[in-house]
Structure 1
């Protein structure tokens, strides 16, 4: 080891406090970087496993492939693994209670396809030959058909078809994705699973009967659309027995998924001009191979913001450490230069110091980051429980790439921080360094202070002000440290606000636990279901509601709040949208009592009246294309005139039917009836008034009535099971039983998890800022020992000495806040601009954080100054004057 490196090591040992603080800064920086990269790797692993569990491990799937041409895909140089899939056909399922799903749709997978296509078993095993089959669990839950494991079933196979006349008939025309009218005769004669059930369609038997043994029950396959007319079942495919002209699908796992978006076209052409391709978009997106620019933009901008904030804070802290070190060693560098040390050697000494600090700080930072994020994941496991069925749960994944990236970023941070001080040290001449004329340059003009300083703060205040001006480099270093800390704190807290806003806007408050959606609620079967459901055990609250979408145009601006006037403006005037909810009598009367009005007035169909839920959240796009979220009261007071309400309904063809009615507002309230989520504006009416509002719509034969049942309970899981059992035993058309309480708890847990990580990040950023300020101020104070001794020697009292330091602290805090707060506001605006393109948020600067920042800055500065100067108060003046540090 060279003598220069030995001197550097000795300097680090002699200045242990500054060395330790610098190493702590590196540890914090690298710990946060490694924590972010490790957490990102863990989240990416979870999302990839979830995508594979949901849709399979394939990257691209080719359809309309002739069996004889499949070899061009299965044996392609770019293919790692390939599976063959075949649509066997439909079989009638007459027992199905779901009128829109009257078939079983049988698909056949070969061995590779069974492992690639996300066949998630609930019971039993996968099929091993063409006489075995796996059925979906929603055949029982949704269709009401129970077929036990081991059962033997006989399925008459066939296809679905409609005639060209049916497709061209406007009254029977139906569309979903593709349209019947645009389809070829061949496609009309063999409707696919992509086309929903069509009431006029025909089942065409193929003449083939297949006998299967049920060997497994699986979750609903991801490939089956909710509108699909058949419950998807899986059997085994022996592809060696297929005829050469058989039309199959080929699922492919690529050797290099990174190039699959480009390779897919070439592979499809190799198998025939008619071949179509479909990418596993979710899996590719989570692997980072995505054309979803919005998703990538938000992901990369947030990651870049977090890493950028860490690097800025870290560079500031470490840079100041090196700047002080170089200033402190100025005389040493001058003496070395005088005996022949070159500029290059001086620079290498500073970089060697950085390398030693990196050698200690980076490994410790990596360990701290990985163990810290691992401990965090362990502690929040109870919150993650609802997500454990997604890809096997969130587990710690230590990616070599994430560790290497964090280590490289940490080392680059240290080297960048050391570069400017190293360059400065090499430029100073030997004479300047020995005399230290570059550190403190004093002229009468440079230290002149305004008269008001002495008038306000006395001689101690004037001395404090002059002390700051005479050593501008150290003064600026301290101000810069405080400035960066302020900007980082305000930027990160703003980021937290935006993140919370973007999360919470999608998770509105709900006041019920389970809901049930019923079709045709006026039928005898539906009424019996409602009667039985309302008396199930464990129900604490029950409501039945029918709903329609309502709009009102050309409202009087005088009736609206100022915010509503602005938010609801359209090209044709003020345009108000809201839900129209018709509740049962008991719930209407209960709401009227809470609001404080006579409920009887709400039941007269000849004089329609309702209660308007006045507080709502509206989303709209501005001229710049950005989404705006407006949370507001709609009406300033009860409108004097009835509202012109336009009620809308859509038939199966997507055509809109409307009816206009005048409804008076009996009361405005923010109270919500059971079933109405937070953030929704709504007009609450009785059933009698509702019938008046939709009487003309009912004349349309395509009018479909729907009713929703809302339940409040302390045991949502048990009630959900009871309702599912009731659903299977009833002949009523029950579309869905949904446990909203479980979803709401998952949402709350997700927001808690986000808060844990965000506030942990704020805490670490704050620690970096505090370490930065402490390092800068304490080192500057320690370098002024002779100065303090000289002031004491000419008669400055301990009280005067304390006043001088307090005024210095005041000047530090004021100056840093003057620059830091505006810069923090600009950083907040920058974050808002970066995030709002992909997430609908509104700008909201939290002034509470500014107050916290002001208090914290003065507290940190005063405490640090007090701590750093405490040891000088009893120090021997003669000994201090002998020091030659300054």
Structure 2
């Protein structure tokens, strides 16, 4: 080790407090990068595990392949394992007491399939031969048909058939086709099978609640598959990478497999960061680049401030080295060496702190995720070689960038200037000039405070820079996570209930009594009764959705007399639900129940998926004003008869959906009102309300949706249909809630780091000004005057940092919004709450940091402080 490096280490040891502050700054920066990298990897890992637990592990699905094609799939170099399955068909379940679920659904798996998919065995064993089956426990609890292990089932297996749709095959996710207790489908006989029951399984998680058949699983023996038989091949890949899409398509072409028969497990693949959507891929890469850039800039600022202050205070030491013959290169290397020493100490500690901090955080929130959100998998801190490598590389790069500018500055300091310390503080009358207004409004203390900042502009700029970066970090991450959550909500289906019960079409007193009976079920936590029907309206071209206006410009034949035909969906809520909804959107409930002046709430903002652009879009369904009226009419599509109806006045415009109302597509409009107003609107002018799609529905939220469904079915009502969507709703809520947990966790992390950054910079800056403060006290500044000066300095710091930080933050927000627009489309909206929070927080944090630091220097002896040259 050369003499310059030895002197650098000695200097670090002599100035322990400043060295410690620098090390802490680097540790915080490394911990931040490590925590962010670990957070992202751990979240993706959790969602991978949860998706596999819910739906099974698979990546590519080839439907209806023959034996030769199956062999090719198994030999494909990309395939890790292949599950063979076959949907044999349906058989009538004799004695079933659930009219909505009259079938058994027989599905076959090979041994690998029973391992790969979430199949939970309750009793017995899994099938090992083609004549053995396991049955779902749901048959006994729901259909009230009891089978024992060892029983033999002889089943006439066939396919579901509807005369009007001959040739179309129906699956488990297609509910039973029935209306008013009349079933419109039947089974077309295919084969007779005899099975021995060898086990009982839990109801599979992948069986839809509305499925018409109870799951029965059998065994498919690969050796018995004939040359002309077809099976399904489900592939788990060795490596999940974006090229899997092109590889599977090329493979299908080579082996004469129809491209339409290929499916991908997009639910799982997206958590590997793999997608075939170019817009989504661009979104992911753009967002990753922006957020990583923000984090790196934040890290650089944190470390740079620490090194800049350190080099500034070391200028006399570097000048002495220069006076005894140290070259510019040696002085520059001295700063780089200091950075290397600090890095060697800080990076390992920062990595450990980052991992431990995230691990402790996960330990605390696991109970929330697994309890409240229903997630079965544990959130664990996932440490990968790549995350460690990225954290180390980013940290080393930030330390290098942070030391480069101070090192250049150090190399250029002349011996005389460094010893006299004239480089940091260069006073001219012009630079020190302050406005008379400051002194008139705030007094001499404010003027001195402002002159202090101007006197040492570099230190002042370093503190302001630190504040600006903290503002940008917080607002960028807050905006990013808020918009990510909004994007997630746009991409989901918008199901806001657990169970939908459709009740006949008569709307009789018996139906109303049935509704009250269902709503009174113990597990029901919330319900809405809704009557719904479709009518029409002609809307002026200038008022239709922007997307429709673009289409109309290309094809004017879509208009009639300058108007576009809209489908108006009228939703009449029950009294309690309508009162709550009216209050939520901020309108008068009494207007909605006055049949003399029909009025309704219009949902004018809708999300929808543009299949052509492959984007999720939020747009205005209609451009209208409160108080405006819509002329309604009804057209009978069979007879072509058009009936004019009454007008409806718009009493409120909103983007909020009540329970049971789904977002309408382009050219459709949801309006919400009362039953009285609905009757007045149609005024008995529609002969058959069923022609207008009239139906009465009950929407439920339940603490136990499966039990609630079973209790409704046990009522044995013939005019109801039950549609249980709790599984899809649960997945949506899990995603939104998990995203919320990570959103607030991420913001909390960034906020803590930002506060630490500000405290570190300001407290170091104030502590380095001990001699300056001692000088002011020595010439008569009172404690009260000193406090006023510190307070005004805090205000100047806050105002200056906000003047720079807010515009930069808005630019970053625009970039994030632009990146999201590759896959989504909605308006840019400034997060006013976050902006107001930041403004208040900046002044609070700066004042606290200044107060904390000034309390420490107040206790110092004036003579000792004037003599002191290091801290």
Q: Distance in 1 between matches of 2:738 and 2:131?
A: 45
Structure 1 residue 721 corresponds to structure 2 residue 711: no
Q: Distance in 1 between matches of 2:27 and 2:220?
A: 57
Moved more, 290-299 or 11-20: 290-299
Paired residue for 1:372, among 338, 348, 357? Answer: 357
Where structure 2 has 5 or more consecutive residues not aligned to the other structure, the ranges are 178-182, 553-561, 664-669
In structure 2, do the counterparts of structure 1 residues 20 and 814 end up closer, same or farther at CA, with 3 Å as the change threshold? same
- Structure 1 match to 2:756: 768
- Structure 1 match to 2:377: 392
Residue 216 of structure 1, CA deviation: 2.5
- Structure 1 match to 2:556: none
Residue 322 of structure 1, CA deviation: 0.7
- Structure 1 match to 2:274: 289
Moved more, 547-556 or 737-746: 737-746
- Structure 1 match to 2:244: 260
- Structure 1 match to 2:203: 219
Aligned 1:464-479 pairs, distance under 5 A: 464-479=449-464
Q: Distance in 2 between matches of 1:872 and 1:492?
A: 35
- Structure 2 match to 1:5: 5
Q: Distance in 2 between matches of 1:884 and 1:758?
A: 41
- Structure 1 match to 2:305: 320
Q: Distance in 1 between matches of 2:579 and 2:767?
A: 72
Q: Distance in 2 between matches of 1:73 and 1:621?
A: 34
TM-score normalized with structure 2 length: 0.79
In structure 2, do the counterparts of structure 1 residues 634 and 95 end up closer, same or farther at CA, with 3 Å as the change threshold? farther
Q: Deviations over 1:767-801 (max 9, x none)?
A: 2342343245225414xx1x555556666666666
Instruction: Say whether the 8 Å CA contact 1:520–1:704 is kept in structure 2.
Output: no
- Structure 1 match to 2:193: 209
Residue 682 of structure 1, CA deviation: 0.6
Q: Distance in 1 between matches of 2:688 and 2:529?
A: 21
Residue 235 of structure 1, CA deviation: 0.8
- Structure 2 match to 1:83: 83
Q: Secondary structure at the match of 1:126?
A: coil
In structure 2, do the counterparts of structure 1 residues 451 and 401 end up closer, same or farther at CA, with 3 Å as the change threshold? same
Q: Distance in 1 between matches of 2:524 and 2:843?
A: 56
Paired residue for 1:736, among 694, 711, 723? Answer: 723
In structure 2, do the counterparts of structure 1 residues 144 and 588 end up closer, same or farther at CA, with 3 Å as the change threshold? farther
Residue 236 of structure 1, CA deviation: 0.9
- Structure 2 match to 1:612: 600
Moved more, 419-428 or 274-283: 274-283
Q: Distance in 1 between matches of 2:232 and 2:87?
A: 9
Paired residue for 1:248, among 216, 231, 237? Answer: 231
- Structure 2 match to 1:683: 673
Instruction: Say whether the 8 Å CA contact 2:578–2:589 is kept in structure 1.
Output: no
Instruction: Say whether the 8 Å CA contact 2:660–2:699 is kept in structure 1.
Output: no
Instruction: Say whether the 8 Å CA contact 2:489–2:736 is kept in structure 1.
Output: no
Residue 129 of structure 1, CA deviation: 1.6
RMSD of aligned Cα (Å): 5.1
Q: Deviations over 1:454-499 (max 9, x none)?
A: 6666666555444444433233223322332333344344445545
Paired residue for 1:415, among 396, 400, 410? Answer: 400
Residue 154 of structure 1, CA deviation: 0.5
- Structure 2 match to 1:40: 40
Paired residue for 2:220, among 237, 250, 257? Answer: 237
Q: Secondary structure at the match of 1:70?
A: helix
Q: Deviations over 1:366-424 (max 9, x none)?
A: 33333333333333344323577545343443334323322332332222211211222
Q: Deviations over 1:320-352 (max 9, x none)?
A: 111111121122223323444344433332223
Moved more, 743-752 or 240-249: 743-752
Q: Secondary structure at the match of 1:257?
A: coil
Q: Distance in 2 between matches of 1:327 and 1:542?
A: 67
Q: Distance in 2 between matches of 1:472 and 1:511?
A: 57
Q: Distance in 1 between matches of 2:735 and 2:171?
A: 36
Q: Distance in 1 between matches of 2:498 and 2:87?
A: 40
Aligned 1:637-652 pairs, distance under 5 A: 637=627, 643-646=630-633
Residue 9 of structure 1, CA deviation: 2.8
Q: Secondary structure at the match of 1:316?
A: helix
Q: Deviations over 1:184-230 (max 9, x none)?
A: xxxx49888798888988755445433332522343474x7889776
Instruction: Say whether the 8 Å CA contact 2:132–2:197 is kept in structure 1.
Output: yes
Q: Distance in 1 between matches of 2:169 and 2:545?
A: 53
Moved more, 226-235 or 54-63: 226-235
Q: Distance in 1 between matches of 2:59 and 2:578?
A: 53
Q: Secondary structure at the match of 1:380?
A: helix
Structure 1 residue 709 corresponds to structure 2 residue 669: no
Q: Secondary structure at the match of 1:766?
A: helix
Q: Deviations over 1:650-682 (max 9, x none)?
A: 9xxxx9999655235599589999956799741
Instruction: Say whether the 8 Å CA contact 1:78–1:255 is kept in structure 2.
Output: yes
Residue 708 of structure 1, CA deviation: 1.5
- Structure 2 match to 1:53: 53
Q: Distance in 1 between matches of 2:366 and 2:582?
A: 44
Residue 547 of structure 1, CA deviation: 1.1
TM-score normalized with structure 1 length: 0.78
Instruction: Say whether the 8 Å CA contact 2:134–2:216 is kept in structure 1.
Output: yes
Instruction: Say whether the 8 Å CA contact 1:107–1:234 is kept in structure 2.
Output: yes
Aligned 1:215-614 pairs, distance under 5 A: 215-220=199-204, 222=206, 232-258=215-241, 259-269=243-253, 271-272=255-256, 276-385=261-370, 390=375, 392-450=377-435, 463-495=448-480, 497-498=482-483, 515-518=500-503, 530=515, 533=518, 536=521, 544-554=529-539, 579-582=569-572, 602=595, 610-613=598-601
In structure 2, do the counterparts of structure 1 residues 455 and 613 end up closer, same or farther at CA, with 3 Å as the change threshold? closer
Instruction: Say whether the 8 Å CA contact 2:625–2:650 is kept in structure 1.
Output: no
Instruction: Say whether the 8 Å CA contact 2:591–2:651 is kept in structure 1.
Output: no
Q: Distance in 1 between matches of 2:49 and 2:97?
A: 34
In structure 2, do the counterparts of structure 1 residues 627 and 768 end up closer, same or farther at CA, with 3 Å as the change threshold? farther
In structure 2, do the counterparts of structure 1 residues 833 and 6 end up closer, same or farther at CA, with 3 Å as the change threshold? same
Q: Deviations over 1:23-64 (max 9, x none)?
A: 332333233333222232222222212332344323223334
- Structure 2 match to 1:777: 765
- Structure 2 match to 1:636: 626
Instruction: Say whether the 8 Å CA contact 2:27–2:347 is kept in structure 1.
Output: yes
Q: Distance in 2 between matches of 1:516 and 1:803?
A: 68
Where structure 1 has 5 or more consecutive residues not aligned to the other structure, the ranges are 167-171, 175-179, 181-187
- Structure 1 match to 2:666: none
Q: Distance in 1 between matches of 2:576 and 2:800?
A: 65
Q: What is the total number of aligned residue pairs between the two structures?
A: 839
Q: Distance in 2 between matches of 1:664 and 1:156?
A: 56
Q: Distance in 2 between matches of 1:698 and 1:872?
A: 82
Q: Distance in 1 between matches of 2:49 and 2:356?
A: 23
Q: Secondary structure at the match of 1:43?
A: helix
Residue 764 of structure 1, CA deviation: 1.7
Q: Secondary structure at the match of 1:50?
A: helix
- Structure 1 match to 2:31: 31
- Structure 2 match to 1:129: 129
Aligned 1:735-814 pairs, distance under 5 A: 735-737=722-724, 749-750=737-738, 753-754=741-742, 756-775=744-763, 777-782=765-770, 785=771, 787=772, 807-814=792-799
- Structure 1 match to 2:555: none
Residue 261 of structure 1, CA deviation: 2.9
In structure 2, do the counterparts of structure 1 residues 770 and 218 end up closer, same or farther at CA, with 3 Å as the change threshold? same
- Structure 2 match to 1:66: 66
